[in-house]
Amino acid sequence: MTAGQLLRTEPSAQPQRVRHSTPPAALQADIVPSYPPPESDGDESWVWSQIKAEARRDADAEPALASFLYATVLSHASLDRSLAFHLANKLCSSTLLSTLLYDLFVASLAEHPSVRAAAVADLIAARSRDPACAGFAHCLLNYKGFLAVQAHRVAHVLWAQGRRALALALQSRVAEVFAVDIHPAATVGRGILLDHATGVVVGETAVVGDNVSILHHVTLGGTGKAVGDRHPKIGDGVLIGAGATVLGNVRIGAGAKVGAGSVVLIDVPPRSTAVGNPARLIGGKKGEEVMPGESMDHTSFIQQWSDYII
Amino acid sequence: MTAGQLLRTEPSAQPQRVRHSTPPAALQADIVPSYPPPESDGDESWVWSQIKAEARRDADAEPALASFLYATVLSHASLDRSLAFHLANKLCSSTLLSTLLYDLFVASLAEHPSVRAAAVADLIAARSRDPACAGFAHCLLNYKGFLAVQAHRVAHVLWAQGRRALALALQSRVAEVFAVDIHPAATVGRGILLDHATGVVVGETAVVGDNVSILHHVTLGGTGKAVGDRHPKIGDGVLIGAGATVLGNVRIGAGAKVGAGSVVLIDVPPRSTAVGNPARLIGGKKGEEVMPGESMDHTSFIQQWSDYII
Amino acid sequence: MTAGQLLRTEPSAQPQRVRHSTPPAALQADIVPSYPPPESDGDESWVWSQIKAEARRDADAEPALASFLYATVLSHASLDRSLAFHLANKLCSSTLLSTLLYDLFVASLAEHPSVRAAAVADLIAARSRDPACAGFAHCLLNYKGFLAVQAHRVAHVLWAQGRRALALALQSRVAEVFAVDIHPAATVGRGILLDHATGVVVGETAVVGDNVSILHHVTLGGTGKAVGDRHPKIGDGVLIGAGATVLGNVRIGAGAKVGAGSVVLIDVPPRSTAVGNPARLIGGKKGEEVMPGESMDHTSFIQQWSDYII
Amino acid sequence: MTAGQLLRTEPSAQPQRVRHSTPPAALQADIVPSYPPPESDGDESWVWSQIKAEARRDADAEPALASFLYATVLSHASLDRSLAFHLANKLCSSTLLSTLLYDLFVASLAEHPSVRAAAVADLIAARSRDPACAGFAHCLLNYKGFLAVQAHRVAHVLWAQGRRALALALQSRVAEVFAVDIHPAATVGRGILLDHATGVVVGETAVVGDNVSILHHVTLGGTGKAVGDRHPKIGDGVLIGAGATVLGNVRIGAGAKVGAGSVVLIDVPPRSTAVGNPARLIGGKKGEEVMPGESMDHTSFIQQWSDYII
Amino acid sequence: MTAGQLLRTEPSAQPQRVRHSTPPAALQADIVPSYPPPESDGDESWVWSQIKAEARRDADAEPALASFLYATVLSHASLDRSLAFHLANKLCSSTLLSTLLYDLFVASLAEHPSVRAAAVADLIAARSRDPACAGFAHCLLNYKGFLAVQAHRVAHVLWAQGRRALALALQSRVAEVFAVDIHPAATVGRGILLDHATGVVVGETAVVGDNVSILHHVTLGGTGKAVGDRHPKIGDGVLIGAGATVLGNVRIGAGAKVGAGSVVLIDVPPRSTAVGNPARLIGGKKGEEVMPGESMDHTSFIQQWSDYII
Amino acid sequence: MTAGQLLRTEPSAQPQRVRHSTPPAALQADIVPSYPPPESDGDESWVWSQIKAEARRDADAEPALASFLYATVLSHASLDRSLAFHLANKLCSSTLLSTLLYDLFVASLAEHPSVRAAAVADLIAARSRDPACAGFAHCLLNYKGFLAVQAHRVAHVLWAQGRRALALALQSRVAEVFAVDIHPAATVGRGILLDHATGVVVGETAVVGDNVSILHHVTLGGTGKAVGDRHPKIGDGVLIGAGATVLGNVRIGAGAKVGAGSVVLIDVPPRSTAVGNPARLIGGKKGEEVMPGESMDHTSFIQQWSDYII
């Protein structure tokens, strides 16, 4: 997961800091461990214990959901088994059996700790940034953007191994089932939030950095006239609003914002903002501490722009 | 279904009036009762009898569809059973069985007559407003916007009962199967038409009034920077064009129009029109009798605006 | 397939020319025949032999995919059988069985050589125009836009035969499974590329010419205020960018371009370009040899416009 | 359930006595109520509470089974809902949907308390008589003989209502899924144990009394030469050994035994024993207190016979 | 279908005669044509018209079954299409798709009129001989013995074509789904009734003549010590009772009877009877007009034998 | 797999000898290695290489089966993976998902080499003893007796680990799907052939030795009057004919034969034969070298007996 290294301006330690300063809404105190994780725990085991506590709470409270929660979460020994099971049953079809996909996901997650770590970072991202996120289990079970990104990471691994036909078949199933179309060659960082996710398209040579938040209907597309490296490069901490279209091998610098509905054909410098169709730049505030991809503030700048241009 | 009461400017009797003045295209006279329903019938039983007549006509004419029509419509004793069956078989998955969902929908529809009545109002809305709607059965069976809204209403009931995990699971299945993502806490009125529906996103604190028409790819989203009440409030009779994005806790007044592709970050007064990215107001005509959400005229105002701004 | 005859400016021989001038990336030389097809072969048998060679290569290289490839491609005697099988298994549901759909597709494709020929033209279009297309088999198996268009063609045939209930049921399944909503009455030409495809909506009276390329989230919609002939007419060789919305009975002339995110309410003359919300015309270059629907250059004109308006 | 009234020699109170004198092996004392049920409970609610306690214990101990147990038992409000769910998911097929069958079973069990009571009696019979029965839940979930008999009772109700096509379709599904073929017109009592059950065949005019135990491969068949009333009448408390074939309108008196592998073409008096091919009578002991159908002693008589004839 | 020619003693015209002399119970006179078929009709078209009339009657009377009846019978243009559909949906599995099987059955039935004719003869056999047979549709839809034999005939055709792996796979599915295990190399005549059918086993070199009736649990097995031609040869019109085991390359002559539960290791002359374990011959009546395989009288001889040996 | 140690009279080396002396019919020489396996190979890897060669040959020759063969055999890295996949897809249900079962089988087979070795011995047994066995792949894919025994071995392991609820659930699925009902507590040796298998029942305290052959409809049952150790003990190399019923805690000595249709209630000494209902002993030949469970000669003794008693 070395996506967008050239585009990063923030030290890699920041995501942890931001996460700790904005803890997710607490679960019931009596059934879950305290937040943040104890020093002795890694993020993965801590998040997994949280997910199981949430699932157990929900299974107890809601008999109609208990079977689903046991099958998908509580019967599994680890997060990667649970994720592999869930993805396999979501993406399987009459010609691509769940057992085959399960095997594939189990093996890929076991062999690539970085893919597991990225999944954990994505769970924390959703929990920290999305006010509608009711818990880690909610994201794991119900966020099609989360699931699409995890399946993409496995497809990306396959692509890198030269198993291209399988990678493309996986992309196709994700595009059908989740309406999220990420080319397996695209490089995607960690701490990614695809909120709502319907209609997201990410092209073959696109690069997405860490801690990026992308709303639904966002396109990171080619211009159609080029071959080779022809898709956007999205820096760390970028926020891209709903329905935005970014086309061509342009750079969206770290901490930049792209307004909802914008059509971006130009580079956007770090920490600046692009809005409109076609998008123009409307500057940014110096000294901002928080990355927009993490704060999810994706309209304040448009307001500024509105003020500015009217 | 108390959605958007503050936003209403029209007496609640209007939907009936509008409906009667724009009757759906007649079925073959020999097999269906006359329109509007006889005084002695409620809308629900009348619409159900229409649906059965249409399904029987189609089953007779099209053997390849007869099995589907009998399973989904003609074997059922009432509209809510038919709807529960249809939704259960659409939304089920390998871990969320159709029998479980069927039970849930049957119980919810039986206990909440207002949910059934809203479904009937939605059927009449589609039939009255959408020129491509071939009949009530067509809408019931084939409109994923209609089905998504009905499933949302059940999820909303569950949410209100504190069964949040189940409500969120339902939202997730609807988002996957129909590509319509409505948070179960969102309040949605009756007489709703989600036309084409792909990609519609409605946030947690959004309120949608009665007789609203929403095209595909419409977002009623948050601004990302706020918690709490952070989504749009859509008044009665509003029409929102394809691809429009309405963000933040703004008010779209009763009878207003939002142009296709607009990005709306501001309040829109009743009976006025907002267009563009970012959207600006272009006034409205006094004395209009018909609500745009019902007439579906969603470009005339843009024409005016085009005239205005060029 | 007489779509858009009034809108055509190019001789029907052109698709072949364009295809020949931009050959798809070569398969491994040792297992596939040379390109273009030998004089003695028709396109259909040649494309089918290519697909089988690609599928065999992938089945040999990737055991996890072999079962899928044999079931979907290699066990079939012809392209139309393979396509019928694939569509049937994609579009089937618990109430619309795969065997029924298979029967329907086999019969329709057998009786309508023009539908088969259009499918072949679409495969060649994807292979020629989309740099991310890894082969004919990739398109056949994985492109939901391709599959949606083929299912639409069968629905269109059914609609023309008066089997409207079945045609609408098919449209509905396509809209659910592929998130592509094409009214069965709409007329669609050949050599069509729906790239990514999520969210494409094409209305009842729309006409789409030959060799048209349409990106995802594109709407060819009505204005809502009209009945009867109320949807766009798209000429041959047109390119419509991602997220564009074309509304009303307007004409997009042959070889025209519509920019990504544009909202088009006006006629666009042949070989000219429309961009923006609302879209305005920004002229076009005389003497262009290549149709944009085929070259897929869908941002150069926006650049021009950007230059123009800033 | 008036089966076999002419054949009864025991007062109807006996089954309860026998059951109480041979209590099922106790569950863990800390999680289940004491046996027999308290005076205030009916058998149905007591058995249901036992089943839930057993299922909860197993779900806690065995995560891999928890999903199944929640879906089938623990998410349901009553025994008849659980049974209806389980049968529907066992017997459904691609053309007979689980939701349809669930509806049918729920309605039949709700309307016929005697069918529910017979199911409870069968559960108690299995628990009391079969040493391999690990609990009520074990029988409910895993005994195909039990499930086949419950489905038969619903088919019998349908047959009596004149819904013969549906009753025969149900018989057919039971014959396929459980390899138990009971004609829906056959009358079957309560407290029935079909142990192992594979290959049991019961003809149209057969009557089976209460507290009968029937091993696998048992045929209660016609002679082929007769029409009308042509199948065996089995009295209360009869035990029929594995592979026995009883043919024609013969009477097997209350408390009689039929040896394994016997071919019975003659009446068997009450409390006597028939063995061999063709079967002959070998008398019986006077003053036996316990009915063989309840004690399951199905070889002692053969031993006697062996002694006798060698 | 030249099975058992050496074993035949009856002219081939007899089945028709027997059938005509024992007409099936009449359907409601107003919806079905008279019996026997008019001179102008072949058996196939007449039986098919009967099946459709029965299915239509049942679909009208029983809404819960209408979907099944339309899918399986009423949506099809011919008996072989209906049968292919029904078999494909019965025998399919997650790794052997219904569409593949449907293709196979459609093709086999189309190419082999004798297989279709044999199916029609089997339907007439069940209708004529089994008092519990409620109609042709009942047999087609619900008799697993009927369905197993039809699938065997297709497997036999495949075996004869050298497609042995596919034939064996089909045998295996039939053995699992219907618990009927007929080796694809076995030769089976026409007018076959497998009544109840569970557990029937027919070995590789067995031959079964025309108009044979075989009850459940019947084995036509090898002796285990031989290779090559090692299974029974069953003559025309033979009746084999429930649970009978016929082992080795023995001949059961035309019109012979084998008693229920018998173990037959010796040749049985035409029109004679074998009973017991091990079976002995008990002669037969001269001048019998009716073949036991058609009259289904399978105990009268045992009675004689009982008289004889006691 | 220490079953029946007290009952063994043959040195454990014999099965190998017998197998080597009766090699399976050769595959095509050009695609398979020679028999027996080279010294350097274990049986498991050699059998697996044979299975893959057979599957590849069949996939090449039969396109309609290729998908099945790749999914079930050729896409897997080892025999135990293939077996786990096949069993999981056979035994799964709507409430017991294939992915869960796959996990279970993979883990059990990986942890218990003796279970894998027993499966290999069973494959060799079928190939050596059953003249109808077309190859190892034929047995692995199509023999429900083979599959039932493998699933039983996993259930037996679970039972021994105290996971009784899961073991019983597995038994139940095997009883439904394969009509083979083996209690998970029963002890079964290696080199087992369940030929045809329908209706086999093996009770809780039964023990089956090595190299035993059991035909269909065989019962190893209790007498019903006992608790505790109450089922038969079957010695090494025993052959039990079709439909035989062995009841009670009796001993069938090593190398003994039980005739088809026999009802055995007494001990049978080693190398002797029991036939009839009730079974009597008819001695045996001294000096026989070959065990009947391996030679499959299961009628010669009956012939002797017939001679003897008539």
| Three state DSSP letters for B208-248 | ECCCCEEECCCEEECCCCCCCCCCCEECCCCEECCCCEEEC
The three-state secondary structure class of D239 is strand
- Which pLDDT does position F291 carry in this prediction? 74
CATH number of the structural domain A186-310: 2.160.10.10
Contact between chains at B131 and C222 (C-beta distance less than 8 A) = yes
Distance to chain C for F202, nearest Cα, Å: 36
Least confident piece of the model among A273-277, B147-151, E2-6, F14-18: F14-18
The three-state secondary structure class of E96 is strand
ipTM of the complex: 0.86
Chain B positions in Cβ-Cβ contact with residue C309 (cut-off 8 Å): none
Contact between chains at E95 and A97 (C-beta distance less than 8 A) = yes
- Which pLDDT does position A55 carry in this prediction? 98
In this prediction, residues E51-79 reach a mean pLDDT of 97
Least confident piece of the model among A25-34, B164-173, D277-286, E90-99: A25-34
In this prediction, residues B155-171 reach a mean pLDDT of 98
Alpha carbon separation from F298 to E248, F243, F251 (Å, rounded): 10, 12, 18
For testing contact with chain F, the best of B94, B97, B99, B102 (most F CBs within 10 A): B94
Q: Residue F37 burial by CB count (10 A; 0-12/13-18/19+): exposed, middle or buried?
A: middle
Distance to chain D for A45, nearest Cα, Å: 19
The three-state secondary structure class of C244 is coil
Q: Which of A239, A200, A246, A190 lies closest to A222, judged by CA?
A: A246
- Give the helix/strand (H/E) hosting A81: helix A79-91
Topology (CATH) of D5-309: serine acetyltransferase, domain 1 (1.10.3130)
Q: Please list, residue by residue across F45-55, b when 16 or more beta carbons sit within 10 angstroms of its beta carbon and e when fewer do.
A: ebbbbbbbbbb
Contact between chains at D98 and B95 (C-beta distance less than 8 A) = no
With contact defined as 3+ CB pairs under 8 Å, the chains touching D are A, B, C, E, F
Least confident piece of the model among A187-191, A225-229, B258-262, F287-291: F287-291
Q: How far apart are CA D126 and CA D139, in angstroms?
A: 7
Tokens of C68: 């899928």
Q: Residue E193 burial by CB count (10 A; 0-12/13-18/19+): exposed, middle or buried?
A: buried
Does position B34 have pLDDT exceeding 50, yes or no? Answer: no
Chain E positions in Cβ-Cβ contact with residue D217 (cut-off 8 Å): 199, 217, 243
Specify the higher pLDDT residue, C125 or B296.
C125
In this prediction, residues F4-19 reach a mean pLDDT of 38
Helix, strand counts (H, E) of chain F = 11, 15
Q: How far apart are CA F130 and CA F116, in angstroms?
A: 21
Q: Residue E266 burial by CB count (10 A; 0-12/13-18/19+): exposed, middle or buried?
A: middle
Q: How far apart are CA E124 and CA E192, in angstroms?
A: 9
Tokens of A258: 């792209």
Q: How far apart are CA D53 and CA F126, in angstroms?
A: 44
Q: How far apart are CA D159 and CA D182, in angstroms?
A: 12
Q: How far apart are CA E110 and CA D155, in angstroms?
A: 36
Residue A11 neighbours by CB under 8 Å, 6+ apart: none
Does position B74 have pLDDT exceeding 70, yes or no? Answer: yes
pLDDT in tens, A243-286: 999 999 999 999 999 999 999 999 999 999 999 999 999 866 55
pLDDT in tens, E67-124: 999 999 999 999 999 999 999 999 999 999 999 999 999 999 999 999 999 999 999 9
Contact between chains at A63 and D70 (C-beta distance less than 8 A) = yes
**Which of F61, F71, F178 is closest, CB to CB, to E95?**
F71
The three-state secondary structure class of D39 is coil
**Which of D134, D199, D239 is closest, CB to CB, to F168?**
D134
Contact between chains at B68 and E67 (C-beta distance less than 8 A) = yes
- One-letter identity of residue B5: Q
CA E30, E35, E38 angle in degrees (round to 5)? Answer: 105
Q: How far apart are CA C48 and CA A106, in angstroms?
A: 35
Q: At what angle do helices B43-61 and B113-129 cross, to 10 degrees?
A: 60
Contact between chains at E71 and C97 (C-beta distance less than 8 A) = yes
Tokens of E88: 């494909």
Chain F positions in Cβ-Cβ contact with residue C82 (cut-off 8 Å): none
pLDDT in tens, D223-270: 866 778 999 999 999 999 999 999 999 999 999 999 999 999 999 999
Question: Look-up: residue for tokens 């907002």?
Answer: B274
pLDDT tens for chain C, 310 residues: list them.
344 443 544 333 333 333 333 334 444 434 444 445 555 568 899 999 999 999 999 999 999 999 999 999 999 999 999 999 999 999 999 999 999 999 999 999 999 999 999 999 999 999 999 999 999 999 999 999 999 999 999 999 999 999 999 999 999 999 999 999 999 999 999 999 999 999 999 999 999 999 999 999 999 999 866 778 999 999 999 999 999 999 999 999 999 999 999 999 999 999 999 999 999 998 665 555 567 787 776 555 444 443 332 2
Does position B186 have pLDDT exceeding 50, yes or no? Answer: yes
| B159 touches B167 (CB < 8 A) | yes
With contact defined as 3+ CB pairs under 8 Å, the chains touching E are A, B, C, D, F
Q: At what angle do helices E144-160 and E113-129 cross, to 10 degrees?
A: 160
**Which of A67, A95, A102 is closest, CB to CB, to F102?**
A102
Q: How far apart are CA C21 and CA D247, in angstroms?
A: 81
**DSSP labels, A101-165:** HHHHHHHHHHH-HHHHHHHHHHHHHHHHH-TT---HHHHHHH-HHHHHHHHHHHHHHHHHTT-HH
Q: Please list, residue by residue across F111-146, b when 16 or more beta carbons sit within 10 angstroms of its beta carbon and e when fewer do.
A: ebeebbebbbbbbbbbbbbbebbbbbbbbbbbbbbb
Q: Which of B150, B81, F95 lies closest to D104, judged by CA?
A: B81
CATH number of the structural domain A9-179: 1.10.3130.10
- β-strand D193-195 against D213-215: which pairing, if any? parallel
In this prediction, residues B204-217 reach a mean pLDDT of 98
**DSSP labels, C100-129:** HHHHHHHHHHHH-HHHHHHHHHHHHHHHHH
Q: Which of C200, E305, A83 lies closest to F99, judged by CA?
A: A83
Q: How far is CA E164 from the centre of its chain?
A: 22
Least confident piece of the model among B2-6, B212-216, B281-285: B2-6
Question: Look-up: residue for tokens 């035969």?
Answer: C161
Q: How far is CA D143 from the centre of its chain?
A: 10
| F113 touches F78 (CB < 8 A) | no
Contact between chains at A89 and F67 (C-beta distance less than 8 A) = no
Q: Which of B114, B133, B110 lies closest to B123, judged by CA?
A: B133
- β-strand B181-182 against E273-275: which pairing, if any? unpaired
Least confident piece of the model among A128-142, D67-81, D194-208, F2-16: F2-16
φ, ψ dihedrals at D110, nearest 5°: -70, -40
Report the C-alpha dihedral over residues D218, D224, D228, D232, rounded to 10 degrees.
Answer: -30
For testing contact with chain E, the best of F65, F76, F181, F306 (most E CBs within 10 A): F65
Does position A29 have pLDDT exceeding 80, yes or no? Answer: no
β-strand partners of C275: C280
Does position D75 have pLDDT exceeding 80, yes or no? Answer: yes
- Which pLDDT does position F42 carry in this prediction? 81
The number of residues making up chain A comes to 310
Specify the higher pLDDT residue, B284 or D154.
D154
Chain B positions in Cβ-Cβ contact with residue D98 (cut-off 8 Å): 97-99
Q: How far apart are CA D231 and CA D226, in angstroms?
A: 9
Distance to chain F for C99, nearest Cα, Å: 16
Specify the higher pLDDT residue, D301 or E211.
E211
Chain F positions in Cβ-Cβ contact with residue C64 (cut-off 8 Å): 75
β-strand partners of E220: E202, E246
Mean pLDDT of chain E: 85
Tokens of A53: 């506590």
- Give the helix/strand (H/E) hosting B273: strand B273-275
In this prediction, residues D142-153 reach a mean pLDDT of 98
Alpha carbon separation from C263 to B229, C245, C246 (Å, rounded): 31, 5, 6
| B252 touches B262 (CB < 8 A) | no
Q: Which of A98, B181, A166 lies closest to C179, judged by CA?
A: B181
Q: How far apart are CA E156 and CA E140, in angstroms?
A: 20
**Which of F67, F85, F95 is closest, CB to CB, to A99?**
F85
Does position E6 have pLDDT exceeding 80, yes or no? Answer: no
Q: How far apart are CA E151 and CA C257, in angstroms?
A: 57
Does position D34 have pLDDT exceeding 80, yes or no? Answer: no
With contact defined as 3+ CB pairs under 8 Å, the chains touching F are A, B, C, D, E
Q: Residue F227 burial by CB count (10 A; 0-12/13-18/19+): exposed, middle or buried?
A: exposed
Q: How far apart are CA B117 and CA E74, in angstroms?
A: 35
pLDDT in tens, E210-231: 999 999 999 999 986 677 899 9
Residue E25 neighbours by CB under 8 Å, 6+ apart: none
Mean pLDDT of chain A: 85
How many CA atoms within 13 Å lie on the side-chain side of B37?
16
Q: How far apart are CA A173 and CA A180, in angstroms?
A: 9
Does position A309 have pLDDT exceeding 80, yes or no? Answer: no
Specify the higher pLDDT residue, A43 or F164.
F164
Q: Which of B168, B239, B233 lies closest to B205, judged by CA?
A: B233
CB pairs under 8 A between C and F: 31
pLDDT in tens, F40-91: 568 899 999 999 999 999 999 999 999 999 999 999 999 999 999 999 999 9
Contact between chains at A75 and D64 (C-beta distance less than 8 A) = yes
CA E236, E240, E242 angle in degrees (round to 5)? Answer: 160
